[in-house]
Structure 1
């Protein structure tokens, strides 16, 4: 398996969604996992093996594309149509590729575990981010 291939135009928050808004600290595409930088107060791409501890803990998934300093909406919890083919019942995690999402089978040695959610269907991810701050 590999990182999910996400169609950005198909990323859509469900009726039970909760989220945040802000500004992008770099180019971000809808469907990428992000964290909020405590230094810049901008949304940045999460990365499970980043040297920066803060980047290893995703806080949500981008709902729209944004260039540096553009407004961004972030899905933090609830159902999310991800614009990718999911396997129902499989857990999806922050990848070691910045912003990417991968199935549990692709979380490798040295990566910090950041659960993004469980697939409810082939298209919907039930987002419930959990970060135990543990590396494999």
Structure 2
């Protein structure tokens, strides 16, 4: 699987970003896809082949790095400069690397399809999280 190579310092929300804050449940780097764990109310790295459905449902992108127990800012919707080189017009999905983002061609058999967003340019991603609950 070929995930986007994200430069954490280059991850920036656009003016139309819906942002929120919370507490990290594990070490998270800016630009990674995350979900909110119901039992702990902490943000965790999402994973397309996780055993539990909750962990497969990416809900946001981390805007800063944080260790477990530290504050984290996340972006739920809107445009984001993801800090990686994108292909304009390409849809990007959650990968089987925790928090990773990749094009559909790199989502493998047995992984769940989780849309993260569509590239508006070579740097901007329009976030559109969607989890239909279907594995390839």
Same fold (TM > 0.5): yes
In the alignment, structure 1 residue 14 sits paired with structure 2 residue 9: no
Q: Deviations over 1:18-68 (max 9, x none)?
A: 022100000000000000000000000000000021000100000000011
Inter-partner Cα distance in structure 2 for 1:124 and 1:61:
13
4+ long deviations beyond 3 Å:
none
Inter-partner Cα distance in structure 2 for 1:83 and 1:128:
17
The residue aligned with 1:85 is 85
SS state at 2:54 partner:
helix
Inter-partner Cα distance in structure 1 for 2:11 and 2:44:
18
The residue aligned with 1:42 is 42
The residue aligned with 2:63 is 63
Q: Structure 2: which 5+ runs fail to align?
A: none
The residue aligned with 2:95 is 95
**Following TM superposition, by how much is the alpha carbon of 1:5 offset from its aligned partner in structure 2, in angstroms?**
0.2
**Following TM superposition, by how much is the alpha carbon of 1:104 offset from its aligned partner in structure 2, in angstroms?**
1.2
Residues matched between the structures, number:
136
Q: Structure 1: which 5+ runs fail to align?
A: none
In the alignment, structure 1 residue 134 sits paired with structure 2 residue 129: no
TM-score w.r.t. structure 1 length?
Answer: 0.98
SS state at 1:21 partner:
strand
